[in-house]
Chain A
Amino acid sequence: MKRYIGIRIVYLLLTLFIITTATFFLMKALPGTPFDEEKLQQLPQEQRQMIYASYGLDKPVGVQYVNYLKNIVKGDLGTSFFYTGQPVKDIIMSRIGPSALIGLQAVLLGLAIGMILGIIAAYRHNSGWDYATMIIAVLGVSVPNFVLAALLQYFVGLKWGLLPVAFWESYPSSILPSIALCVGVIALIARFVRTEMLEVLEQDYVTTAKAKGLGFARIMFQHVIRNSLISVITILGPIVVNLLTGSLVIENIFGIPGIGSLFVDSIKMNDYSTIMGITIFYSAFYVFVMLIVDLLYGLVDPRIRLASGKE
């Protein structure tokens, strides 16, 4: 087990290195500089060069890359070009909070509701419950979250005045965005759970359990639901990463200072250090979540054993 995690961490670092390198060179291939070039146009060439030089942008891309890597190893992500002088680490830390909170709430809510709906639909297969659940699921997948966000903002926020229209001021500010984000998750999870559970219900071991005279709850929780969760865990990894790392559209609609809009803006503005910082952060997070997903497999599925023979 320890050996397995050790190997995975080595792979994790390797993956990060490759992603960093690729992003760095792709980013440098973007046209333009991080500055307001139209304004700089008005300066003589020599002065423009001096400004570039003071940020080390006059050196060859290869040299810039090596310098960047050196700093990364020291744990220094550099300072932003766009928010002049602000350390990238501070910017990311201040922006990840709102995004993570909304994302986490959306995942937990979506997971809970989605699973309940999925289980009901499967258990009452081909009943009214089933059809109702699946209609919700199809709607949830097909209505874009920004449409839902705008509707929630208009009705719940403005017309009924129940929750804040926008901004990031107190806990209630996070509710509407979380709901807007979680509907997609509900739909996805409900469909997966239903399909998977229907399959599990047909399995021989379920029939055996029934034949043994096990109670309903025991059959459901110990055998059926647990085995249906494997597919949910598979899709849960990417969902968690997606939601916790912010959604540009939802953040903009609700005026939330999240990391989703930061990432898009930094690319638009050629804010090199911020692009790199967020890329590293995203990929590290993704690889980490993937590791957890793999560990979770072993937990829910006895058929999957990770080199655990010695224990």
Chain B
Amino acid sequence: MKRKKVSLLATLLVVSAIFTGCSFSGGDSKGASSGTTGDTGNTAQTASKELRLSVESEIKDLNQWAASDDVSFTVLNNIGEGLYRLDPKNEPQPAMAESSELSEDKLTYTFKLRADAKWSDGSPVTAADFKFAWLREMDPKTGTNGYSFIMTDYIVGAAEYAEGGSADKVGIEAKDDKTLVVHLKQPTPYFLRLTSLAPYFPMKEEFVKSQGESYALSPQNMLFNGPYTLTSVDAASGAVLEKNAGYWDAANVKVDKVDLKVIKEKSTALNAYKAGQLDRVLLQSSDVNASKSDPGFGTGINFRTTYLQFNLKADGVSNINIRKALEYSFDSKLLADQVLNNGSKAATGLIPDQMSATGGKSFREMQGDLITPDAAKAKSYWEQGVKELGKAPKITMLVADTSETKDVATFMQSEFKKNLGIDVAIDTKTAKARGQLMDNSQYQMAITAWGADYDDAMTYLDLWANHTPYRGNYENPKYDKLITDAKKETDEARRIDMLLAAEKILTAEDVVVVPIYFGGYSYLLSDKVEGLDYHPYGNPVDFKYASIK
């Protein structure tokens, strides 16, 4: 009896030992190496130029029709390429396309593809590859990243196709292997910028079909046409990219290998940077002051505005004076400089700092400051509002449970108390729950943020023309007309004027949203690295322009 038990237990122990022993290199199956063996990255390898970077969350998805997060775009942008690619100054430059022509009426683009544009299997990139990939993005059954609007809003017949219409009526023509013609619904001055985004990347139909369900699950199931190819990827630990020798501009790609690691803790990343295992690290606000004197210190801006969204159908905040009182009552400069302290800037409008307008000027330069905090003004608006309502409204602010948003909410709560003498309650929910409450119109005001999809004010202003509860149930014919007219306008200066007017209505006249801050970041960068410029929107970074001393 006893002996039997012992042998049973011994077997179990052995089994479990084998199980754990094997799983140490678990990620290695299907080539998705978790980097367990040999390759210790940081040692030696002085001969090849290697860039070692970290990302803050998992590499979710490398299927261009499903990916929607910055980390996936970071990888996709460097292993793939669209018709155009952003240069370090965020201007679109010909990439897969050699040149493009725009018709007189600004509605038809003709792209000539490069003769030496190749896939990593050696086959040429053709116009048909673009057509196939774009149609796939528009089809809700395959394009599940929520980005299809970025095509259906602009391309003739695309919206109808997305709702089950015919593919033949979509305004994308593959004239020959190297000529792609795109028909637009309305003049779109930023269309070339759009073509640099991952959802606009080409893909070879034959290859996708041959991979079936396993397409894009591992490097073996992928095809590359960008400056880099993917050697290994593991969602939770990172990816390794290697220079694509067949890339048309390979001569100008100076970094041979990019080792991208997933590190969720900023303090861990900082330690790894200090230990020489990373070339660049993002700082958390508590580390910023200590790092400011470091020669590698820098800050950058994202096209991401955090703002307060009012629900115009909710009690209290349906009153314009109450909304104005809240708008004027907090000083977001204090918030950005002292609470966030991470490179973020106080918002002076909804459209982020540095977003392009026209004539080389930024939208913010043209509009000027729409919001200046003023406690006295706030107080008088509040009293006016209370008079109109008959009593002081009770106000609750809905926020998501991320640490940054909670800090922002607490700061605003104290400002409301100080300048208006009111107690605003904070309702903290998970991001998903917050989203659902907003969808159901069950909120008074909520802190939320929007990251630009492309470099034009329309990426923001268009949102409030859809009248949904999420956007505060806002409906103003004057505003809607400005947006629809701006979409049709062929004169760029007039179009920008309309958008400037729309922003003013949204934030200053109707006070539907109160911009709080423009998102930014602080980082440390190794002095060996040059030209590693991050873009403020869309595809976050191009390793193509980086070099190592």
Q: Which residues of A are at the interface with B, using a C-beta cutoff of 8 A?
A: 1, 30-33, 35-44, 46-48, 50-51, 54, 82-86, 90-91, 93-98, 100-101, 104, 150, 153-154, 157-158, 161, 165-171, 174, 252-255, 257-258, 261-262, 265, 268, 270, 292, 295-296, 298-299, 308, 311
- Distance (Å) between the CB of A31 and the closest chain B CB? 4
- Distance (Å) between the CB of A97 and the closest chain B CB? 3
A85 touches B66 (CB 8 A): yes
B235 touches A83 (CB 8 A): yes
Residues on A with beta carbons closer than 8 Å to the beta carbon of B234: 94, 257
B29 touches A94 (CB 8 A): yes
Complex CA distance for A258 and B20, rounded to whole angstroms: 13
Residues on A with beta carbons closer than 8 Å to the beta carbon of B274: 158
Residue B60 at the chain A interface, CB threshold 8 Å: yes
B432 touches A31 (CB 8 A): yes
A47 touches B29 (CB 8 A): no
Residues on B with beta carbons closer than 8 Å to the beta carbon of A262: 236
Known: A97-B23, A167-B35. A39 touches B68 (CB 8 A): yes
- Distance (Å) between the CB of B63 and the closest chain A CB? 6
B261 touches A167 (CB 8 A): yes
A104 touches B20 (CB 8 A): yes
B141 touches A54 (CB 8 A): yes
Residue B207 at the chain A interface, CB threshold 8 Å: no
- Residue from the list B22, B237, B450 in contact with A167, Cβ < 8 A: B237
Total B residues in contact with A, Cβ cutoff 8 Å: 81
Residue B121 at the chain A interface, CB threshold 8 Å: no
**Can you give 20 contacting A-B residue pairs, CB < 8 Å?**
A31-B429, A31-B437, A37-B432, A39-B68, A51-B141, A84-B66, A84-B67, A93-B23, A94-B29, A95-B236, A100-B23, A104-B16, A104-B20, A153-B268, A166-B271, A169-B40, A252-B265, A255-B261, A257-B34, A299-B6
- Distance (Å) between the CB of B292 and the closest chain A CB? 20
Residue B32 at the chain A interface, CB threshold 8 Å: yes
B12 touches A292 (CB 8 A): yes
Complex CA distance for A85 and B430, rounded to whole angstroms: 25
- Residue from the list B58, B147, B271, B436 in contact with A31, Cβ < 8 A: B436
- Distance (Å) between the CB of A295 and the closest chain B CB? 7
B236 touches A158 (CB 8 A): no
Residues on B with beta carbons closer than 8 Å to the beta carbon of A90: 29-30
Beyond A32-B435, A41-B463, A86-B235, 9 additional contacts (C-beta under 8 Å) are A32-B433, A40-B146, A41-B466, A41-B470, A43-B146, A94-B32, A170-B36, A255-B262, A299-B9
Complex CA distance for A94 and B9, rounded to whole angstroms: 26
- Residue from the list A97, A157, A255 in contact with B265, Cβ < 8 A: A255
Residues on B with beta carbons closer than 8 Å to the beta carbon of A35: 144, 146
Residue of A39, A40, A154, A299 contacting most chain B CB atoms (<10 Å): A39
B272 touches A84 (CB 8 A): no
- Residue from the list A84, A96, A254, A265 in contact with B144, Cβ < 8 A: A84
B40 touches A170 (CB 8 A): yes
- Residue from the list A41, A42, A43, A168 in contact with B35, Cβ < 8 A: A168
A165 touches B29 (CB 8 A): no
Type the 1/0 row for B67-80, where 1 means its CB is closer than 8 Å to any CB of A. Answer: 11100000000000
Residues on B with beta carbons closer than 8 Å to the beta carbon of A54: 140-141, 144
A295 touches B5 (CB 8 A): yes
Known: A37-B435, A41-B468, A166-B272. A83 touches B61 (CB 8 A): yes
Q: Which residues of B are at the interface with A, using a C-beta cutoff of 8 A?
A: 1-2, 4-6, 8-9, 12, 16, 19-20, 22-27, 29-30, 32, 34-41, 58, 60-61, 63, 66-69, 140-141, 144-149, 162-163, 213-217, 234-237, 261-265, 267-268, 271-272, 274-275, 277, 429-433, 435-437, 439, 450, 463, 466, 468, 470
- Residue from the list A82, A85, A96, A167 in contact with B23, Cβ < 8 A: A96
- Residue from the list B26, B40, B277, B433 in contact with A96, Cβ < 8 A: B26
Residues on A with beta carbons closer than 8 Å to the beta carbon of B235: 83, 86, 91, 257
A158 touches B275 (CB 8 A): yes
Residues on A with beta carbons closer than 8 Å to the beta carbon of B39: 169
Residue of A nearest to B27 (CB): A94
A39 touches B145 (CB 8 A): yes
- Distance (Å) between the CB of A252 and the closest chain B CB? 5
Known: A54-B141, A94-B29, A299-B6. A154 touches B146 (CB 8 A): no
- Residue from the list A86, A100, A311 in contact with B19, Cβ < 8 A: A100
- Residue from the list B9, B20, B271 in contact with A157, Cβ < 8 A: B271
A38 touches B58 (CB 8 A): no
Complex CA distance for A44 and B467, rounded to whole angstroms: 12
Residues on A with beta carbons closer than 8 Å to the beta carbon of B58: 82-83, 265
Complex CA distance for A21 and B28, rounded to whole angstroms: 33
A85 touches B268 (CB 8 A): no
Residue of B140, B267, B439 contacting most chain A CB atoms (<10 Å): B140
Residue of B nearest to A34 (CB): B432
B20 touches A101 (CB 8 A): yes
- Residue from the list B34, B60, B214, B271 in contact with A168, Cβ < 8 A: B34
Residue of B37, B271, B439 contacting most chain A CB atoms (<10 Å): B271
- Residue from the list B2, B162, B236, B439 in contact with A261, Cβ < 8 A: B236
Complex CA distance for A252 and B269, rounded to whole angstroms: 11
Residues on B with beta carbons closer than 8 Å to the beta carbon of A44: 163
- Residue from the list B34, B162, B163, B268 in contact with A165, Cβ < 8 A: B268
Complex CA distance for A3 and B436, rounded to whole angstroms: 51
Complex CA distance for A82 and B69, rounded to whole angstroms: 11
A47 touches B147 (CB 8 A): no
A270 touches B432 (CB 8 A): yes
Residue of A nearest to B21 (CB): A101
- Distance (Å) between the CB of A258 and the closest chain B CB? 8
Complex CA distance for A50 and B140, rounded to whole angstroms: 6
Known: A37-B439, A39-B68, A257-B234. A94 touches B26 (CB 8 A): yes
Complex CA distance for A37 and B437, rounded to whole angstroms: 12
Known: A96-B26, A158-B271. A168 touches B237 (CB 8 A): yes
Known: A100-B20, A158-B274, A257-B237. A85 touches B217 (CB 8 A): yes
Residue of A nearest to B436 (CB): A31
Known: A153-B271, A295-B8, A299-B6. A31 touches B29 (CB 8 A): no
Residues on A with beta carbons closer than 8 Å to the beta carbon of B5: 295, 298-299
